[in-house]
Amino acid sequence: MQAPPIESEVKAIVQQAIEKHGKTPDALIPILSEINHALGYIPATAMREMQKQIHDPAKQTYLAEGQLYSLASFYDMLSTKPRGKHVIKFCENAPCHVVGGKAIWDALRDTLKVENGETTPDNQWTLVTTSCLGLCSVGPVLLVDEDMYGNVTVEQIPQILGRYE
């Protein structure tokens, strides 16, 4: 299991993200994205720290931790729990499904021995579905970290995963 980040590290990352993006409502997602990128996920300690740093009695601004959790859990690019070293996002939308997406999904689950949202015991892989990756014309599509793969076949799965070992 991945060790949780130390509190001073979290505080510094949150502070740096807030300094970069500001304390406006429009800055919340970019701040959460920075934290997610730096730590690999957004721990509860980061949301509490963000809440503290954004709170401004003089301006009567208050941000509930639940609001941050709602934002962080709504967007699939963000995660509120640790993810593996590599994240596979699989498009489950109809265009990918009708061209063989279910077989790809089943092959990924069978190969990694995890279900949607789970991380392998060695913390190497997290498998998640997403509603669309924006490449319907080349489905089935999957995203491994920042690398996009289109027209994926079951036979390609071992080769694709092998690139990250």
Q: How high is the pLDDT of residue 61? A: 62
140-163 pLDDT, tens digit per residue, is: 999 999 899 999 999 999 999 999
Beta strands (DSSP E) in the chain are 86-91, 118-119, 125-130, 142-144, 147-149
CB-based contact 111:120 (threshold 8 Å): no
Phi then psi for 56, rounded to 5 degrees? -140, 95
52-103 pLDDT, tens digit per residue, is: 888 766 665 667 778 888 888 888 788 898 889 999 999 888 888 888 899 9
Domains of the chain: 7-74 (no CATH), 86-162 (3.40.30.10)
Rounded percentage of the chain residues whose pLDDT exceeds 90: 54
Q: How high is the pLDDT of residue 62? A: 66
93-141 pLDDT, tens digit per residue, is: 888 888 889 999 999 999 999 999 999 999 999 999 888 888 888 889 9
pLDDT band at 7 (very low <50, low <70, confident <90, very high): confident
Q: How high is the pLDDT of residue 136? A: 83
- Omega before 140 within 30 of 0, i.e. cis: yes
Element (H, E) at 21: helix 7-21
* pTM score of the predicted model: 0.74
What DSSP letter does each residue of 41-79 carry, written as one string?
A: S--HHHHHHHHHHH-BGGGTB---HHHHHHHHHHSTT--
CA distance 9 to 136: 40
CA distance 78 to 147: 17
